[in-house]
Amino acid sequence: MNSIQHIVFIGAGNVATHLATAFQQSGKTIDQIYSRSEYSAKKLANKIGCSYTTNINELNLNSELYIVAVKDQVLPEILKKIKLKKKLIVHTSGLHTMNLLKKCSENYGIFYPLQTLTIKRKINTNAIPICIEANSKKNQEILSDLAHLFTENVRIVDSEKRKILHLAAVFACNYTNHLYSIAEDILKNAEIPFNLLHPLIKETAEKAIETGPFEAQTGPARRNDLKVIQSHKKLLTNKEQKNIYSLLSKSIIKKYFQKDNENEKL
């Protein structure tokens, strides 16, 4: 097991909160929380029982690991202000490369949790895939040991593949959730409760995991049922919703009926 015991978190949002809690529960000491928001920094620091600061120049420099868990759009700006010499520093972004950390320290890497995280929602950390990368074998082993403290699912993923993984996650999570939101809006307009869809949502996700998304696909577009598709479009008075429905229907039809035609030729 590695010797890392003391950790500083730079960021106090969803990812930082879940990771800081998981590390503390695993026996690690969180020395400090930094955030540009005093409310967020103080809230997480109180939860963990450590100090906090809103001044990046007041970082505790006596810790062993610095985890930068901030929004992608502010990450480069934050990293420009951090100089740690030889201390190990990682960021949690799925988008940004590891090389962004080069000027911060001689030792750096990635600690990317592949999961949608919300402060108010508890989650089983043992089910979270942690994707790691480091600038040396030693640092990779340190990060792997740390990740294994609270999850069995640890993967070595380089920056380019992590970008692809992040992109796929946007489709699988963010866009799917947006479609749930559209479905909820459609039901609200008809005074129908969204919870009627809960069993369907759960079964769809479980089936996609069990059989694979291609085999799990059902619905009018999968059947190329143009009459049903047209009747649905007539029900949609919202132009944006109608465009999304049409775009997804065309995509499904193209995917499956090209495949069906290929199968017929075999």
Reply yes or no on whether the pLDDT at 2 is more than 60.
no
The whole-angstrom separation of Cα 141 and Cα 180 is: 40
User: 27 and 120 share a domain?
Assistant: yes
Q: Which of 157, 189, 223 is the last residue of a domain?
A: 157
In a domain, 47, yes or no: yes
User: 120 and 228 share a domain?
Assistant: no
Domain at 24, CATH number? 3.40.50.720
pLDDT band at 127 (very low <50, low <70, confident <90, very high): confident
Q: Which of 119, 142, 157 is the last residue of a domain?
A: 157
Q: What is the mean pLDDT of residues 78-93?
A: 97
Reply yes or no on whether the pLDDT at 263 is more than 70.
no
Q: What is the mean pLDDT of residues 28-33?
A: 98
Reply yes or no on whether the pLDDT at 113 is more than 90.
yes
User: 153 and 172 share a domain?
Assistant: no
- In the β-sheet with 85-91, what is the strand arrangement from edge to edge? 51-53, 29-34, 6-10, 65-68, 85-91, 105-113, 130-134, 154-156
The whole-angstrom separation of Cα 249 and Cα 221 is: 5
In a domain, 121, yes or no: yes
Average pLDDT, the chain: 95
In a domain, 1, yes or no: no
In a domain, 22, yes or no: yes
- Does residue 109 contact residue 143 with C-beta atoms inside 8 Å? yes
User: 51 and 82 share a domain?
Assistant: yes
Q: Which of 157, 176, 202 is the last residue of a domain?
A: 157
User: 176 and 140 share a domain?
Assistant: no
Q: What is the share, in percent, of the chain residues with pLDDT greater than 70?
A: 96
Q: What is the mean pLDDT of residues 108-112?
A: 98
Q: What is the phi/psi pair of residue 156, to 5°?
A: -90, 115
Domain at 189, CATH number? 1.10.1040.20
Q: Using only C-alpha atoms, what is the Rg of the chain?
A: 23
In a domain, 220, yes or no: yes
pLDDT computed for residue 73 by the predictor: 96
The boundaries of the domain holding residue 200 are 163-265
In a domain, 111, yes or no: yes
Residues 6+ apart with CB under 8 A from 184: 194
pLDDT computed for residue 125 by the predictor: 87
pLDDT computed for residue 260 by the predictor: 56
Reply yes or no on whether the pLDDT at 259 is more than 80.
no
Retrieve residue 33's tokens: 């929380």
Reply yes or no on whether the pLDDT at 1 is more than 60.
no
User: 175 and 137 share a domain?
Assistant: no
Q: What is the mean pLDDT of residues 69-81?
A: 97
pLDDT computed for residue 138 by the predictor: 97
User: 135 and 201 share a domain?
Assistant: no
User: 127 and 192 share a domain?
Assistant: no
Task: Pick the closest to residue 229 from 216, 217, 245, 215 (CA basis).
Answer: 245
DSSP 3-state of 92: coil
pLDDT computed for residue 264 by the predictor: 46
Strand 130-134 relative to strand 105-113, pairing = antiparallel
User: 174 and 150 share a domain?
Assistant: no
User: 19 and 60 share a domain?
Assistant: yes
- Does residue 65 contact residue 90 with C-beta atoms inside 8 Å? yes
Q: What is the mean pLDDT of residues 142-165?
A: 96
200-211 tens-digit pLDDT: 999 999 999 999
Q: What is the mean pLDDT of residues 187-215?
A: 97
In a domain, 153, yes or no: yes
Instruction: Give the number of domains in the chain.
Output: 2
pLDDT band at 62 (very low <50, low <70, confident <90, very high): very high
pLDDT computed for residue 67 by the predictor: 98
User: 245 and 119 share a domain?
Assistant: no
Q: What is the mean pLDDT of residues 117-126?
A: 91
Reply yes or no on whether the pLDDT at 265 is more than 50.
no
User: 148 and 170 share a domain?
Assistant: no
